[in-house]
Chain A
Amino acid sequence: MLNFILLIFIYIGIYAIAAMGLNLIVGYTGLLSLCQAGFLAIGAYTTAVLMTTFHMGFWESMIISGFIASLFGILIGIPTLRLKGDYLAIATLGFGEIVRNVILNWDSVTKGPMGINGIPGPSIFGTTLSSMDKPAWIVIIWIFVAATYYFIRRIIRSRVGRALEAIREDEIAASSMGINTAKYKIGAFTTGAFLAGIAGSLFAAFNQSVAPLTFDFMMSIMILCMAVLGGLGNSFATIVGAVIIVLASELPRLMGISHIIPPQLNQILFGLILVLMMIYRPQGIIGRIKLNYAKIVKEEISDLEK
């Protein structure tokens, strides 16, 4: 039982990292992306291939995974130069499907539908972790959650965050204020993809295996639900959203009634969350936090006076 709860919190942490990345794209910049699972897949498979085929260590693989995912973020971010709202959403959805298709069919590298097994665990302080070492995993993953939270907070409170907010509010006005909107939008995409890549890498190393079917459209939707449920444009709320969604999907198993609860109910729940939240509480449970940049800047520059 305890083991199971630990497991749940490991997954919450992994999803929270990816969801905070998505929140940067959707919540702060206002671009709807439906391919976060695709970036996770890229991260997970990069780590899997590097560690099994090239016998690299986990930490190097993780960093590379993050960067490869963000490279694809740039690739899919470029269309955002020209696409708005729904079109962008569909393009990202298409991208996610392409990733999954390629992984499924590129047998020589990804082992196709079978996936890659036998990924070694990360080594830390001379010992190699396996999926069994849950307490250690919890610590590692939640350190990454905290780091991600802090990283995004820094971005959002900086001038970059201010520009992202302006772009979300009115892109045309922002560009006529001299803001290179394309650069910021691609930047947001790339960073969100990077974080998903890191999450995917952790996912692969923790499970010690990856399979293509894991990273489907429903996973993108689930991550999106986390961000929407907590409140778009609020990283802390996103973590809360991740806790609620993962707990809700694992509740039947937690209560030992998974045999009478059909798996579809779970997904129906995600669907209901999206519809009901949009109609009755579009700002999410906690809601967006509006920063006051004038105050932030004033504080920040106060020590320059001397």
Chain B
Amino acid sequence: MPLLYTQNLRREFGGVIAVADVDIEIFKDSITGLIGPNGAGKTTLFNTITGLDFPTSGHVFFKGEDITELPAYKITRSGIARTFQNIRLFKDMTVFENVMIGRHFRGNNPKIVKNKFLNFILGRIYVKKEEKDIYENSIKWLNFFNLLDMRDEYAKNLPYGKQRELEIARALATEPEILFLDEPAAGMNPQETDSLMKTIKRIRDLGITVVLIEHDMKLVMNICDKIIVLNYGKKIAEGTPSQVQNNKDVIEAYLGKTDD
């Protein structure tokens, strides 16, 4: 059974059908690419899956459970993390703090802490233990991305490529089973893109399933096990990189109709 799948997922904005009854299946430990021309509905598909937008109809299943109606924070807590096409870091917080926020809810241990609000104010011992966990895990993820020496820098002051990495680090700090990346290579130079490719593979090797939207075909064709193609909200093809590359509909969607 796929780790995550959608059933007839649809999202309309007024007259625009951004996602048209799409079924996708994401298998564990895979890297799946989601491609399609601008406005194809890729980001909207991500949004409806991660709870930042609600579908007009259809369902999303994760680990066998229907998560369609869950609010974003519960979806994240269930093990789904994401990044954003136009980076949404906490700009005026430090690099370290950004990752700490990613870890925030993992420190919540409902078994010991009942009246949490007061406990925080009182600074109880188990609060400290949770904070320690957040602190140490944040360091772990900063190390993973070589961001540790920039830890006290404000996020907004990082170079663009580093901001993209920080956003991934923050997402990973939520300890997801599946990670959605929306155009992670956008705005990166070729060296940065290369290192990003390696990073994505390292993430997969940690046992985290990756789904990514990308316009950089070299990256997509190189690292994805499976590619899904959207056009005008519809899924027009899926398969291995070579299958998709040679698919007539895909070529048409990207290049326009060639006959006539």
Whether A272 is near chain B, meaning CB under 8 Å from some CB there, is no
CA–CA, A108 and B167, complex, Å: 58
| Residues of A contacting B151 in the complex (Cβ-Cβ under 8 angstroms) | 294
* CB-nearest residue of chain B to A294: B96
Contacts of B170 in A (CB 8 A): 177
Within 8 A of A (CB), among B82-125: 82, 84, 88-94, 96-97, 100-102, 104-107, 117, 120-123
B-chain residues with CB within 8 Å of residue A300 when the two chains form the complex: 123, 128, 131
Question: How many angstroms between the C-alpha atoms of A92 and B127 in the bound complex?
Answer: 34
Any B CB within 8 A of the CB of A160: yes
Residues of chain A from 166 to 201 with CB closer than 8 A to chain B in the complex: 166, 169-170, 172-181, 187
Contacts of A159 in B (CB 8 A): 104, 107, 120, 127, 130-131, 134
Does A297 sit at the interface, judged by CB under 8 A?
yes
Interface presence of B135 (CB below 8 A): yes
The listed residue with most A CB atoms (<10 A of its CB), out of B97, B102, B105, B151, is: B97
Q: Mark B179-222, 1 if CB is under 8 A from A, else 0.
A: 00000000000000000000000000000000000000000000
Residue A105 lies at the interface, judged by CB distance under 8 Å to chain B? no
Q: Residue B72 at the A interface, CB < 8 A?
A: yes
Residues of A within 8 Å of B77, CB to CB, are 178
Q: A151 on the interface (CB 8 Å rule)?
A: yes
In the assembled complex, the Cα of A178 lies from the Cα of B100 at a distance in Å of 12
Cα distance A298–B134 when bound, in Å?
Answer: 11
**CA of A165 to CA of B73, assembled, Å:** 17
Most chain B C-beta atoms within 10 Å of own C-beta, residue among A163, A169, A292: A169
Question: How many Å from the CB of B158 to the closest CB on chain A?
Answer: 15
Q: How far is the CA of A172 from the CA of B100 in the complex (A)?
A: 16
* B174 interface residue (CB < 8 Å to A): yes
Inter-chain CA distance A290–B92, complex, in Å, is: 9
When C-beta atoms are compared, the residue in chain B nearest to A180 turns out to be B73
A301 located at the interface, meaning its Cβ lies under 8 Å from any Cβ of chain B in the complex: yes
A304 in the interface (beta carbon within 8 A): yes
Interface of B is mostly: helix
- Given A294-B96, A301-B135, do A179 and B104 touch, yes or no (CB 8 Å)? yes
**Which residues of the partner chain B approach A154 to less than 8 Å between Cβ atoms?**
120-123
State how many angstroms separate the Cβ of B153 from the closest Cβ of chain A: 11
Given A158-B121, A162-B97, A178 contacting B90 (CB threshold 8 A): no
B135: A residues at CB distance < 8 A: 294, 297-298, 301
Residues of B within 8 A of A87 (CB): none
Chain B residue nearest in CB terms to A160: B120
Contacts of A174 in B (CB 8 A): 90, 101
Residues of chain B lying within 8 A (CB to CB) of residue A170: 88-91
Tell me whether A173 and B90 are in contact (CB under 8 A).
Answer: yes
**A157 vs B136: C-alpha distance in the bound complex, in angstroms?**
18
Contacts of B94 in A (CB 8 A): 292-294
B71 at the interface (CB under 8 A from A): yes
Complex contacts, A177 vs chain B, CB 8 Å = 73, 76, 101-102, 104-105, 170, 174
Contact between chains at B104 and A162 (CB < 8 Å): yes
Residues of B155-179 whose CB lies within 8 A of A: 170, 174
Contacts of B117 in A (CB 8 A): 160, 187
What residues on B are CB-neighbors of A158 within 8 Å?
120-121, 123, 127
Query: Is A102 on the interface with B (CB-CB < 8 A)?
Result: no
| Given A158-B121, A180-B73, A304-B128, also A169-B107 (CB < 8 A) | no
27 residue pairs from A and B, CB less than 8 Å apart:
A159-B127, A159-B131, A160-B117, A160-B120, A162-B101, A169-B91, A169-B93, A173-B89, A175-B73, A176-B73, A176-B81, A176-B82, A177-B76, A177-B105, A178-B73, A178-B77, A178-B104, A179-B105, A181-B73, A292-B97, A294-B96, A294-B97, A294-B135, A294-B152, A300-B123, A300-B128, A304-B129
A contacts, CB < 8 Å to B: 151, 154-155, 158-160, 162-163, 165-166, 169-170, 172-181, 187, 290, 292-294, 297-298, 300-301, 304
Instruction: List residues of B whose CB falls within 8 A of some A CB.
Output: 50-52, 71-73, 76-77, 81-82, 84, 88-94, 96-97, 100-102, 104-107, 117, 120-123, 127-132, 134-135, 138, 151-152, 170, 174
